[in-house]
């Protein structure tokens, strides 16, 4: 009986240990295309009919030797710079369906 209790405690410990590792951060994505333009702060790729403009830092790995015309795969993640909240649209006014429900 004590073995079963210890096995359960060990199993819970493993579950609790692994769970935080899964919540690392935002998803990572990739895009492959041909380099159209390069500046110190941006990288513009042509993928089919679409142009992708990606921010570039001096610390971005592998971006030092890029040339226009190179085919590249860029790995990126999305980051929110600013969030503006707007009212949800619900006001103190009663709609027709709410009036009908209140009368019943």
pLDDT in tens, 16-63: 554 445 556 789 999 999 999 999 999 999 999 999 999 998 888 988
pLDDT band at 103 (very low <50, low <70, confident <90, very high): low
Percentage of residues in the chain having pLDDT higher than 90: 44
Phi, psi of 82 (to 5 degrees): -155, 145
Select the more confidently predicted residue: 80 or 20: 80
pLDDT on residue 100: 58
Domains and their CATH numbers in the chain: 25-80 (2.40.50)
Select the more confidently predicted residue: 99 or 56: 56
100 CB-near residues (< 8 Å, 6+ apart): none
pLDDT band at 64 (very low <50, low <70, confident <90, very high): confident
What does the mean pLDDT of the chain come to? 79
Distance CA 73, CA 45 (A): 10
């Amino acid at each position: 009986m004590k073995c079963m209790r210890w096995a359960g405690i060990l199993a819970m410990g493993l579950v609790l240990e692994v769970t935080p590792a899964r919540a690392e951060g935002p998803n990572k994505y990739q895009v492959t295309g041909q380099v159209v333009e390069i500046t110190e702060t941006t990288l513009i790729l042509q993928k089919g009919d679409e142009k992708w403009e990606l921010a570039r830092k001096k610390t971005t790995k592998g971006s030092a030797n890029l040339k226009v015309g190179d085919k590249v795969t860029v790995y990126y993640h999305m980051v929110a710079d600013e969030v503006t909240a707007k009212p949800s649209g619900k006001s103190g006014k009663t709609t027709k369906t709410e009036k009908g429900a209140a009368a019943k």
